[in-house]
Amino acid sequence: MADENSGKDKRKGTAVPKGRFSRLMGLGGTVASVAGSMAVKGAKELASGNRPKAQDLLLTPSNAIKLTKRLSKMRGAAMKIGQMISMDSGDLLPREFADVLARLRAEARHMPYSQLESVLFNEWGEDWPERFDHFNHFPIAAASIGQVHRAILKEDTGDAVVAIKIQYPGVRDSIDSDISNVASLVRMSGLLPKELDIDPLIEEARLQLHQEADYKREAAFMVRYQELLTGDPTFWVPDYFPDHSTDKILTMSYIPGTPIEALADTDYDDQQDLRNNVTERMMRLLHRELYEFGLMQTDPNFANYQYDEDDDRIVLLDFGAAREISPEITQGYRTIIRAIVAGDTPGTFEALTQMGFMPPDIPTDIKATLLEIIALAIAPMATDHVFDFGNNDLATTIKDMAMPLAGQKELWYAPPPETVFIQRKIAGMYLLATRLKAQVNMHRIVKEWV
């Protein structure tokens, strides 16, 4: 087997801690360090005559750096949750804290060659190199649960350029303990009110991560997406190579592309038209998933999408977070969208309440503010016009209106767990549209489904 990366692993990786005790000590040490810095800063504040809040002591850039470094070394569920927080809470966390934590989406460490080789031997046997003409030992991507390598299969096994997703050792066994440790850290932070029951959401996250660590399950959903998008030339889903895959190794076809987020900075001709077109495709796919497929890839991480300039298509990657959507949930969203398209603010409020997004009994004054916020939020979909995601202050206005409500106990309410990941995908697509500064008529898109 020829080696595309002579010298194998000149860029030294960081071993993934495998044992439950070592992972507990890794996160526990970070918690202790963060707690120590909180105590020191708190003592200084008290000495100055101030009474600091716990979350103000916790949410500092230095603590974010400590947490980011530790989670990027641990990988697994702990890092995955950190990535979720960095994407989903940018408007809730202090900007400096969120910016540092966002590095988790790009700073996963790869395994050292010795650990990688051990995984390959365990999954494929000692003769695994005979499968390939080339195998690049340095990954082309490293994430929270695994890393991806580019390789070329031998001619008698397909003669194809492939991307091989290899799971970090011990990650699957550490999910439950990682979830418990991170949940404890969140509770300690004081970011969430004690009255809010997050246990159902924690359980849903635990289930989701176990599913993401099952590569055979991911392969099955990748094949389903390929079937669902057959005949649609605007999307591309990799081919699955079952003979070179296991439950911890997923082999698929490889195609180069530009990260979809990078389209915001490229110099293509008619750049604005391209960004608009790509965004519209992504929004239409989102609604097809919800209303037509009954199946959604719920992880909106921008790394899961690439743009293939040669064939003008969007490459869809990573189906570990794909999940089926019940008809009841789909119908609930359809009811909400009908009210939105009609510009019916009270109807939208009622539909959101019926879906469980809001508590049933809300004081009149709080409800009035919520109705104002909903009216602003649905405006891009309620009227037939092109909405400029990159040149408006809608998100800031809504945030400013919503922040005073954060302390209202009447709104301390956890939504249905099944909807959390759907909402995350929807929010991620709107964040992508904003990042690409797209101009899209959302009213026409959503109206197709009601």
Whether residues 186 and 276 share a domain: the answer is no
The answer to whether the CB of 325 falls within 8 A of the CB of 287 is no
CA 76/CA 166 separation, integer angstroms: 13
The pLDDT mean for the chain works out to: 78
pLDDT, average across residues 174-178 = 77
Assigned domain for 147 exists: no
CA dihedral (18, 32, 93, 352) in degrees, to 10, reads: 70
DSSP string, 256-304: --EEGGGGGG---TTHHHHHHHHHHHHHHHHHHIIIIISEEE----GGG
Kindly report the backbone phi and psi dihedral angles of residue 259, in degrees, each rounded to the nearest multiple of 5, phi listed first. -50, 135
CA distance 95 to 99: 6
> Is there a single domain that holds both residue 186 and residue 268?
no
Q: How many domains does the chain contain in total?
A: 2
Instruction: Show the domain range for 65.
Output: 20-109+182-190
**Domain final residue pick, 168, 190, 212:** 190
Whether 311 is a known active-site residue: answer no
**pLDDT value of residue 314:** 97
Per-residue pLDDT at 443 exceeds 70? yes
What does the pLDDT read at residue 205?
73
Q: Which of 274, 275, 291, 395 is nearest to 334 (CA)?
A: 291
Predicted confidence (pLDDT) at residue 45 exceeds the cutoff of 50: no
Task: Assess whether 186 and 306 both reside in one domain.
Answer: no
Model confidence pLDDT, tens digit, residues 293-352: 999 999 888 889 999 999 999 999 999 989 999 999 999 999 999 999 888 999 998 999
Same domain? 186 vs 324:
no
Residues in Cβ contact with 64 at an 8 Å cutoff, skipping those fewer than 6 apart:
96, 97, 100, 101
pLDDT at 159 over 60: yes
Confidence check: pLDDT of 264 > 70: yes
**8-17, 184-193, 215-224: range with highest mean pLDDT:** 215-224
Of 164, 190, 216, the one marking the end of a domain is: 190
Element at 175 (helix H, strand E): helix 171-189
What average pLDDT does this structure show over 101-122? 75
- Summarize pLDDT for 396-437 with one digit per residue, the tens: 788 778 777 766 666 666 678 788 889 888 888 988 998 899
Query: Greater confidence, 43 or 372?
Result: 372
**Domain termination site, one of 140, 159, 190:** 190
Domain-embedded: residue 139: no
Residues 186 and 335 in one domain: no
pLDDT at 12 over 70: no
**Residue 30 confidence (pLDDT) above 70:** no
pTM of the model: 0.78
Residue 146 placed within a domain: no
| pLDDT class of 102 with cuts at 50, 70, 90 | low
Residues 186 and 326 both lie in one domain: no
**Looking at 299, 310, 318, 344, which residue is catalytic?**
299
pLDDT score at 378 = 85
- Give the mean model confidence (pLDDT) for residues 64-75: 58
Q: pLDDT value at position 206?
A: 81
